[in-house]
Amino acid sequence: MSGKPALVVRLAPASRWMALVVVSAGLIGLGLWIALGFPGGDDEVEQQPAARIAGADTPAAAVDAYLTGLSRGEFDELRPVLADPSFLIRSGHDWWFELLDRATVEFSAEPAQLFGPVASATYVANLRFITGDVWSYTGTVDLIEEEGRWFVDWSPAVLHPALDARESIRATLVWPERGRILARDGTPLTDDRPVVVVGVVPERIADIEAVVLALEEQLAVDPAVVPAAVGAPGVQPDWFLPMVMVRPSRFRDVKPQLQPVPGIVFRETTARLSPEQGFASHVLGRVGEVTAERLDQLGDPYRRGNEVGLSGLERAFETELAGSPVVEVVRVNQFGTTIEALFMSTGRSAADLETTLEPAVQQAVERALDDAPTPSAIVVLDAASGEIRGVGSRPLAEFNRAFGARYPPGSTFKIVTASALLHAGVDPGTAVSCPAETTIGGRTVHNAGGASLGGTSLREAFAHSCNTTFAALGERSRSPAAVAVQSQRVE
């Protein structure tokens, strides 16, 4: 007998006993029993035999059961045919089950080759990733026979022939750099620009109420957000918890008020932004982490955590702007360091999106809306081409009134009538009449608020949106030439 002590732990659930048997080289045949549980420690405790793993009748059946369990991502299905179903073997399959979040697999196996009590079977694995790319490789399943049953003699090489002990395979989806949204002249309207993330670190907070108040007053952060983030399950004291992202110009304004408050921390990074705050924001839209609803709409190859277009052009042209990811499959060691590249797909590059917006016109739109009462909206069209040169809507936090609201055509049709007059050669200074009301086809047309300009010019009637002037001109006109004639007859 060996001189090394042996410690054996036996569990007898039926009698609720636990016994420890210590056998030493110097005390052969002498057992020290320690009984824990109900009285009756002198009763004999019989060892409960471990249940024998089922195995399979034939090598082919064992291979089929193992590969089926792999394809379904169910370790419990392949466990019965493993010669050693221990925890270490279970953990050796972890990378495979993670890979199945990004791919489906089909196996085809050759008949097993028998060598007495051992055998091996060659298989081909075809993994189709959520991008549609397929990675194929050939592997081998080694088998052993025990008591007339066949089992998989598992090692990492069974999953992939290149794997050694403590190695695994990692598959990642690498998205291309997102395409830019461009102005008519090629100027980027969206691009990665510097930002500052304002957040908190729980262990640095001296007074959470002071943190809440400062962020609410300076950056309009909801008072409930900070306590909820700090108190969320699993949050560590030294974690940085982002609260809000601001542009450098805005950060410079609030930094003096926020920096003295213990617990508020700043981090510089970049984010996809327009040239300035609010610039064509309704049209361009925004990018953020995919929502559950958006994930359902987009489907593969998107997964939780991906950045996607959530509104505006970013959302409408997500596929073009995002491109498709490259699948990278690599062999890594126990520290996650890449040893070898096994597969790489081509993916699809992201594309830039050209718009008809003109930066100078758009800036003029923004300035006009900043000074206008809300709600309000502006659309600037190129009359010759119908292309949009600028568009904006306020309030920024509400829907895009320029595109999404429904209004009666009303004054917008004055543009058509005025354009016909100008193209017919009528001078903007032509004298016209703008009474408070007029009757056309039996219907009375009023000016807003009963306003009246009396005798005025076409330019002034247009500037003041005189309903009666343009209603009369439009009703009397059947062609641009007729409009020109009629305009001369209006008193």
Q: Residue ranges per domain, the chain?
A: 1-49, 59-161, 191-273, 411-489
| 137-155 confidence digits (pLDDT tens) | 999 999 999 989 999 999 9
- DSSP structure class, residue 5: -
- Cβ-in-10-Å burial (0-12, 13-18, 19+) of 121 comes to buried
pLDDT number for residue 68: 95
pLDDT number for residue 420: 83
pLDDT number for residue 169: 96
CATH 1.10.3720.10 fits 191-273, yes or no: no
pLDDT number for residue 476: 65
Identify the CA nearest to 180 among candidates 269, 299, 275, 277. Answer: 275
pLDDT number for residue 449: 87
pLDDT number for residue 257: 96
pLDDT number for residue 51: 53
Second CATH level (architecture) for the domain 59-161: Roll (3.10)
pLDDT number for residue 448: 86
Token pair recorded at residue 132: 């549609």
pLDDT number for residue 12: 28
Q: What is the dihedral of CA 144, 145, 150, 156, to 10 degrees?
A: -10
Q: What is the dihedral of CA 427, 429, 430, 431, to 10 degrees?
A: 170
Token pair recorded at residue 379: 């659309």
Could you say which residues of the chain have pLDDT below 70?
A: 1-53, 476-491
Which residues are paired to 445 by β-bridges?
438
Residue by residue, DSSP assigns 53-95 as P--BSSHHHHHHHHHHHHHHT-HHHHGGGBS---HHHHHHTHH
Residue length of the chain: 491
Which residues are paired to 56 by β-bridges?
150
Residue carrying the six token digits 């593969």? 300
pLDDT number for residue 65: 95
d(CA 66, CA 72): 10
pLDDT number for residue 195: 94
d(CA 397, CA 282): 9
